[in-house]
Amino acid sequence: MHPRDTENAIINVLRFYEAKNAIVFCNTRAAVARLTTKFTNRGFSVVALSGELTQSERTNALQALRDGRARVCIATDVAARGIDLPNLELVIHADLPSNADTLLHRSGRTGRAGRKGSPP
């Protein structure tokens, strides 16, 4: 599948579900940068999370998502660990992760940290 097709499919899912907030996972920083630009150009309020950000930048990005200033967070797997977004409505995988543990951290734990029903 061409990257443009994937990007358009994700945009369509975001528009269809109209989730209050969502996180889109990518495998590389370059993909995060590309999707951040594309989604911003399409009118989405977006924050990006990847490994090169400082803790302060990560905190500010997540706070923007929590308080509604941003609707979509585009993140690498590095950012998937330890994210606490209790009311996250939608998780999308722009790229499939390389292993099951990463998939678990992306889908199963994101937004449910410390709540009943979290995977072991």
Distance from C-alpha of 94 to C-alpha of 79, rounded to nearest angstrom? 14
Answer yes or no: are the C-beta atoms of 72 and 14 closer than 8 Å. yes
Q: With a cut of 60, say whether residue 74 has pLDDT above it.
A: yes
Matching residue, tokens 């706070």: 63
Distance from C-alpha of 14 to C-alpha of 34, rounded to nearest angstrom? 17
Burial code of 92-116, b = ≥16 C-beta within 10 A, e = fewer?
Answer: bbbeebeeeebbebbbebbbbeeee
Answer yes or no: are the C-beta atoms of 10 and 90 closer than 8 Å. no
Q: 42, 17, 38: which is closest to 26 by C-alpha? A: 38
> What's the confidence (pLDDT) of residue 71?
95
Q: With a cut of 80, say whether residue 118 has pLDDT above it.
A: no
**Cα-Cα-Cα-Cα dihedral sign, residues 25, 71, 88, 86:** positive
Give tens-digit pLDDT for 13-64: 999 998 889 999 999 999 999 999 999 999 999 999 988 888 898 889 989 9
What is the pTM (predicted TM-score) of this model?
0.84
CATH of domain 3-109: 3.40.50.300
